Chain A
Amino acid sequence: MTKGQTPSQTVGPYFAYGLTPEQYGYPLASIASPDLRTPDVEGRQIRIEGRVLDGKGEAIDDAMIEIWQADPQGRYAHPADPSYNKGRGNIAFKGFGRCGTGTDPENRFIFDSVKPGAVDDSQAPHINVIVFMRGLLSHLYTRIYFADEADANAKDPVLLSVPEDRRDTLVAAREESGGTVVYRFDIHMQGENETVFFDV
């Protein structure tokens, strides 16, 4: 008989040199970065920008965001995905990114990636998000959906499981600036527009 799950503890204020060292200028190689793009990945390049806002609406400067996404063909780079070994052309694309909010003057997280494809027949394209910060004892999960996928979003079972008046908190607005497609996704920890977090 084993002990139960090891409890979560906060990532604390000093995660940067351990988990996101290159982004913060520390001398340790990073295992992941805010730039997910690889030379071989085909698909539409996108940028994801957002802030993590506390209960006073202030942007948090010591949060860490992780994203996990499928490639443009809707395949996760993981052996549990049945399509993983089926004709992957973009083998270098891992689909995982990490970004702290402490290096941008506006405390944003900024990811450069490619737009994910639909994962299976039922789900709209989305990016899985894990939120960590000082003051958060257990990490939280949310998802980024795309405002320009309205038809797919309307049928997505996860979005449909969310109360209608809160679905907007999961949909990133699309902007185009200088040829770059930017999706804006603020994470509200509290307040009227509190982001939906999932019990994964």
Chain B
Amino acid sequence: MTTPPKPYSPRDWSSHPPIIAPDYKSTPLRGATKPLIPIRQSLSELTGPVFGQDSLGELDNDLTKNGRKDGEPLGERIIVSGKVVDELGRPQPNMLVEVWQANAAGRYVHKVDQHNAPLDPNFFGGGRCVTDDQGVYRFYSVKPGAYPWGNHPNAWRPNHIHFSLFGPSIATRLVTQMYFPGDPLLDLDPIFLSSPEKARDRLISEFDLSLTEEEFALGYRFDIVLRGPWETPMETA
């Protein structure tokens, strides 16, 4: 069989943030200024790295355990789960999901994070999981805290978890952030607000009692939609 794979639908720029969004002050000097040049998707774009279950370590999907030194991390335990689908709603099984986040106090382990909030000796904040045959991923963590950043006076990032996915090819690559429902900082955050209004709710997880584990952890559902196959345009004779 030598039929080349089908191309993916384009990146939907009415759903993604612009390359330069001046309210997010790092973008004007870093975003490309010339129009992107269209490319006809070839094997180069229709393939990508394959990471399955064998790329995971034993505790990679449990951030409440994978950074422990001598006890449990502080904070509200959460379970984050969701379905990874393409634009046609088809589940994407066996797909790597990488996550990283601040601890419950809003502090990252990262060396350049100088926020004056405590590090948690028992929390690292990085992990990953792989979707099952229904396209569902799931990991345990603690709810990340809000943290200040220097974008503008009194600027605070809403609670969020960073996500990185490949999907089936490099064309479906996605790096995004998951937010929490009801966060008052969302309406003030230039990064969240950079995405077009109609698409913003896709970045906010939902509290889900059915995911919640009794007397253990709160459940949040965050479904992710990747690019799907390019649909043949309807004939408009």
Contact = CB atoms under 8 A, between A and B. Distances in A.
Given A7-B200, A82-B4, A17 B175 contact: no
A99 interface: no
B39 A161 contact: yes
Most buried by B among A2, A143, A157: A2
Nearest to A62: B112
B100 A17 contact: yes
B48 A28 contact: no
Interface in A108-139: 119-120, 123, 126, 128, 130, 132-139
Q: Is chain A's interface secondary structure helix, strand, loop, or mixed overall?
A: loop
Contacts of B195: 7-9, 137
B202 A7 contact: yes
B100 A197 contact: no
Pairs of residues from A and B, 7 with the lowest C-beta to C-beta distance, nearest first: A18-B100, A135-B26, A78-B47, A96-B49, A137-B17, A199-B36, A135-B30
A68 B202 contact: no
Contact of B24 (A2, A29, A77, A137): A137
Interface string A1-13: 1111111111111
Given A76-B43, A94-B49, A137-B191, A17 B108 contact: yes
Nearest to B46: A80
Interface stretch (B73-81, B121-129, B180-188, B210-218): B121-129
Interface string A46-88: 0000000011100010100000101000001111111000000
A190 interface: yes
Interface of A: 1-19, 21, 24, 26-29, 31-32, 54-56, 60, 62, 68, 70, 76-82, 94-96, 102, 119-120, 123, 126, 128, 130, 132-141, 143, 157-158, 161-162, 189-190, 194-200
A137 B28 CA distance: 11
Contacts of A11: 162, 164, 175
